[in-house]
Amino acid sequence: MALLETKGVSINFGGLWAVKDVDFLIDTEEIVGLIGPNGSGKTTFLNIISGLYRATNGVITLCGEDITGLRPFEIFQRGIARTYQSSRLCWDLSVADNILMGLYTKHKRGFVDIILRPKSADDETYEFLQECMDMLSYFNPSLFKLRYDLTKNIPHIDRRRIEICRALVGHPAVLLLDEPTAGLNDEETMQMMMDIYKIKKKIKDVCIIIIEHDMKVMERVPERIVVFNAGQKIAEGIYKDIIKDPDVINAYLGGAAV
């Protein structure tokens, strides 16, 4: 049984089908890449999965459970975490605070504990922070020193890493990466690619859906690629086959690129 499955998922924005009849499967431990021209519905598709948009038609299941129409926080609680195309970190909070938010749902201590048993509540937060710091240092050990710095003062690639840490620290089943290399130069893109490998190394059974425009990354990272065009899935397969597919060349790569 597939870990995450969508059947006939469509969304309509005032007459325009931004995503139409997408059937999609992903298994545990798999990495799938989504490519397609701008406006082809890749990010919209991720937004539907993470609950930000409600699908007009179609069914989404996670481990066999129907999660269609659940709200974003409920979807996160079921194990789907994501990052964003343009970073959605809180600039005025510290690095530690930002990552700690990723463990929000794991907190057991309630309001009464916080007021009346401060020690136990603080101990819990301390454990979680330690977990966050381990995760952060795993991606970039030098960030440990900057844990109390405001996120807005952190370099761009490290912000991306912090965002990945935040999504990853709660050990999700599915990780959605929306253009992790956006705004990075070539060298940083390579570093980010290494980081994505590191994710797999750290949490073996996480499956990753990654949207990316950089074909160098797409060639190496995903095991399977799904191509979107005008809201529809036009091709699916391994990289070698995809780049030879005439529909894909026409829609996305352009004749001269390959």
Partner 1 sequence: MTDLDFSRSQGTKMSEKILTVACNILVFGLVFLMLRLPYQFSLTLVALVIAALLYMEKSGAMNAVFSLYIRNKGLAASSAIVCMLAIPVLLATFRYQSHIAVMAVIYIMVCLGVNFQMGSANMVNFAPAAFMGIGAYSMAVTTVKLGISPWFGLLVAIILCSVAGLLIGLPTLRTKGYYLSLVTMALQLAFTQLIKNIPYIGGPNGLSGVKALNIGGFSLYKSYTFFGMKLAPHFFYLIFCILMLALLYYIAVRISISRYGLVLNNIAQDEIAANCLGVKVSSYKLFAFLIGAIFCGIGGALYASLTSFVGPNDFTFARSLVFICMVILGGMDNLVGVLVGAFLLTVITEKLRDFSDYAQLIYALLLVIILIVRPSGLIPKRVRNYCAIFGRELLPPSRQNVSEPTDTQ
Binding site for partner 1 (CB under 8 A): 50-52, 71-73, 75-77, 81-82, 84, 88-94, 96-97, 100-102, 104-105, 107, 111, 114-115, 118, 121-122, 125-126, 129-130, 133-134, 137-138, 141, 144, 147-150, 166, 170, 194, 197-198, 201, 220
Q: How far, in Å, are 152, 166, 242 from residue 103 at the CA level?
A: 21, 8, 38
Smallest separation, CB 224 to partner 1 (Å) = 19
Closer residue to partner 1, CB minimum distance, 2 or 114: 114
Smallest separation, CB 175 to partner 1 (Å) = 12
Closer residue to partner 1, CB minimum distance, 130 or 250: 130
> Which residue reads 């194990």 in tokens?
79
Distance from C-alpha of 193 to C-alpha of 10, rounded to nearest angstrom: 31
Smallest separation, CB 44 to partner 1 (Å) = 15
Q: For residue 145, give every residue at least 6 positions away whose Cβ sits within 8 Å of its Cβ, in sequence order, or none.
A: none
Query: Residue 26 corresponds to which tokens in the numbers above?
Result: 């992903």
Closer residue to partner 1, CB minimum distance, 75 or 251: 75
- Give which of 247, 228, 250, 220 is closest to 43, Cα–Cα: 228
Tell me how far apart the 2 most distant CA atoms of the chain are, in Å. 68
Smallest separation, CB 135 to partner 1 (Å) = 9
